[in-house]
Amino acid sequence: LQKLIHLLQATDDPLIQEQALITLSNSAAFSGNQDIIRDLGGLSVIGGMLSNCVPKVEEKALNALNNLSMNIKNQEEIQVFITQVCRTVESAPLNSDVQIAGLRLLTNMSVTSDYHQKMINSIPCFLHLLSEGAERTQIQVLKVLVNLSANPAMTRHLLRAQV
């Protein structure tokens, strides 16, 4: 894991970055590895890949963070990327793999109300995606919206959103 994280930092080759991210994502399926990746500083390295201009790399970074977000301690570090992930969801092509991957990460990050405030500005986008997106996009958006609606503090923001 340490060598993968180092490789991710050391290369500009999108194919190597994509493969390293896939391997880290698969490794994150095991809770012990989630802790190791966090302790090695992997969350910030993977998060740094979110600004990659290659959509496949960006998607794989979102998938890796999604798998790593199943851990509460990891969520505390991943939450710094929520605003960026929301912007990515808004700017990604409609129904794209990048958009779906971002919505999946936001779903996990919105299971508890700890980070709902960071998603308020994206509610109009979520509602737009609900009406314009394909079925798989709609399903992911609904998961985020259901999580947000479980928080009474979000009611006003959800009802007042301009679409």
Q: How many residues does the chain have?
A: 163
Q: What is the pLDDT of residues 2-12, one digit of tens each?
A: 999 999 999 99
Burial (CB < 10 A; 0-12, 13-18, 19+), residue 32, is: exposed
Of the candidates 71, 56, 83, the one whose C-alpha atom is nearest the C-alpha of residue 111 is: 71
Q: What is the pLDDT of residues 91-140, one digit of tens each?
A: 999 999 999 999 999 999 999 999 999 999 999 999 999 999 999 999 99
> Where are the domains positioned within the chain?
1-79, 80-162
- The fold adopted by the segment(s) 1-79 is Leucine-rich Repeat Variant (1.25.10)
Helices (H), the chain: 2-10, 14-27, 31-39, 42-48, 55-68, 72-78, 82-91, 97-109, 123-132, 135-149, 155-160
Q: What are the phi and psi torsion angles at 110 (to 5°)? A: -105, 10
By the 8 A CB rule, do 79 and 109 touch? yes
Q: What are the phi and psi torsion angles at 40 (to 5°)? A: -85, 0
DSSP H or E run through 70: none
Q: Which amino acid is at 20?
A: A
**Quick one: pLDDT at residue 19?**
97
By the 8 A CB rule, do 158 and 127 touch? no
- State how far the Cα of 66 lies from the Cα of 102, in Å rounded to an integer: 8
- State how far the Cα of 107 lies from the Cα of 10, in Å rounded to an integer: 31
- State how far the Cα of 158 lies from the Cα of 160, in Å rounded to an integer: 6
Q: What is the pLDDT of residues 19-68, one digit of tens each?
A: 999 999 999 989 999 999 999 999 999 999 999 899 999 999 999 999 99
**Quick one: pLDDT at residue 162?**
82
